[in-house]
Amino acid sequence: MVADAGEAPGRMPLVQLVLTELWHRRTPSALTHDAYNSCGGVAGAFAIHAEEASSSPAPQAAHDRTTRSSSWRTKH
């Protein structure tokens, strides 16, 4: 798994993404090669994460929009 993440200094967050995805796909007692393969390895786990992140607004961004909107209504 670490080898699949490459040699770049910032590879450990990619490994973390894979481990998180494996945790979601675990069997009752193990993380498996089948789960690793089914999520597409490092590249697949990154793609899954990117898709999830882009399909929902960031919590802080949503909060900021709500705060600005509420603030505008109370001032005007």
Q: SS in 3 state form for the chain? A: CCCCCCCCCCCHHHHHHHHHHHHHCCCCCCCCHHHHHHCCHHHHHHHHHHHHHHHCCCHHHHHHHHHHHHHHHHHC
In a domain, 6, yes or no: no
Mean pLDDT across 40-51:
86
In a domain, 3, yes or no: no
In a domain, 60, yes or no: yes
pLDDT the model gives residue 63: 55
| High-pLDDT (> 90) share of the chain, % | 17
| High-pLDDT (> 70) share of the chain, % | 74
- Split into its structural domains, the chain has a count of 1
Mean pLDDT across 38-67:
75
In a domain, 7, yes or no: no
| CA distance linking residue 9 with residue 68, whole number of Å | 39
In a domain, 55, yes or no: yes
pLDDT the model gives residue 67: 54
- pTM exceeds cut of 0.75: no
